[in-house]
Amino acid sequence: MQLQHWDTEKHGQVSEQKMRSQLEALGYSVSRYTYPPGTYFAPHTHHVDKIDGVLAGRFKMSMSGQSVILEAGDTLAVPKGAVHSAEVIGDESVVSLDAIKYR
């Protein structure tokens, strides 16, 4: 799994604008979503490469038999065709940046 944590020494405090700019610079189209507690996405795939980024809350993502919990500043690459699932963990909504790579 390609999990990356926000580097505050290099980029300062995590913010939507900073994360969005970094993802767009990599060639991704970025949308913002808010998922309330209890949200669960059953195993599924996408026809494009994606990166899921978290601005707030805790988002458990599972892929290739592994699970990680993303928190503010974390991003996870989801390759095209990879079976994955996701769920909001805890009582706080997840604010997410959904980055899609169009080719």
Mean pLDDT of 87-102: 96
Range of the domain at 23: 2-101
Chain segment 5-16, per-residue pLDDT in tens: 999 999 999 999
Q: In this model, does residue 102 exceed pLDDT 90?
A: no
Q: How far apart, in whole angstroms, are the C-alpha atoms of residue 85 and residue 60? A: 8
- Tell me how many domains the chain contains: 1
Query: Tell me, what amino acid is at 32?
Result: R
Phi then psi for residue 60, to 5 deg, are -85, 125
Q: How far apart, in whole angstroms, are the C-alpha atoms of residue 93 and residue 83? A: 24
Chain segment 14-64, per-residue pLDDT in tens: 999 999 999 999 999 999 999 999 999 999 999 999 999 999 999 999 999
> Looking at residue 6, what is its pLDDT?
95
Q: What is the CATH number of the domain that holds 11?
A: 2.60.120.10
DSSP run (H or E) holding 97: strand 94-101
Count of C-beta atoms within a 10 Å radius of residue 52 = 20
In the block, residue with structure tokens 């700019």? 21
Mean pLDDT of 60-70: 96
DSSP run (H or E) holding 63: strand 58-63
pTM: 0.93
pLDDT band at 1 (very low <50, low <70, confident <90, very high): confident
> Looking at residue 103, what is its pLDDT?
63
Closest CA to 53 of 13, 7, 94: 94
